Structure 1
Amino acid sequence: MITSKQRSYLRGLANKIQPIFQIGKSDIEKAFIKQVDDALKARELIKITVLETSDYTAREASDLLCRKLNCEGIQAIGRKFVLYRKSKDNAKIELPV
């Protein structure tokens, strides 16, 4: 579990990154979950956009992916959300204590 100070720090980092995935009309499927999992392993912090055609809100999609991938939902604003998971092998982001 991360603290509010760490969450705030990660939100600041997330402001500078572009979304790397979009969730559209189709359901969140295994292949998409695998791609997000791989991206979290490589980057630790990712941003995802939920298209208007999606059945999910940003918060719903974030919560679903967090349950499946054991990651943290950092922020959900409008149609974008940010996920974080510390990499076991290749940690890049140093969280404040």
Structure 2
Amino acid sequence: MPIALTSAQKRYLRGLAHDLKPVILVGGKGVTDGLVAETTSALQIHELIKVKVAAEDREARDLAIATLADAADAALIARIGNIAVMFKPRADKPLIALPR
């Protein structure tokens, strides 16, 4: 289950993610087990990542983003067009300190 974030925390994370480049690219095959593993690994390393979805249809993009966030157990911070921002804090030694 992803963590519950307040609107202030989401706003803070969106600000941090502004300059990030997408590290996960969802292609024509959609969300696969390998993609979920890579996303989980990237979240473990960075905690805050951008995901780019290459799908023409808006519903397909929304479904891919929601599926990937659920599978990786990450919080969906923002979605603008085909880019999504996901956050999952580390269990030990978190990099990002969230405001209260």
TM-score (norm 2): 0.88
Alpha-carbon contact 2:52-2:82 (below 8 Å) kept: yes
Alpha-carbon contact 1:71-1:83 (below 8 Å) kept: yes
Partner SS for 1:93: coil
Partner SS for 1:28: coil
1:18 corresponds to which of 8, 17, 21: 21
1:60 and 1:76 mapped to 2: Cα distance?
A: 12
List structure 1 segments (4+ residues) > 6 angstroms apart after TM superposition.
none
What's the offset of the Cα at 1:8?
A: 0.4
Counterpart of 1:43 in structure 2 is 46
Counterpart of 1:75 in structure 2 is 78
Partner SS for 1:56: helix
Alignment of 1:50-69 (within 5 A): 50-52=53-55, 56-57=60-61, 59-69=62-72
1:28 corresponds to which of 16, 28, 31: 31
Listed as ranges, the gaps of 5+ residues in structure 2 are none
What's the offset of the Cα at 1:53?
A: 5.5
Partner SS for 1:91: coil
Listed as ranges, the gaps of 5+ residues in structure 1 are none
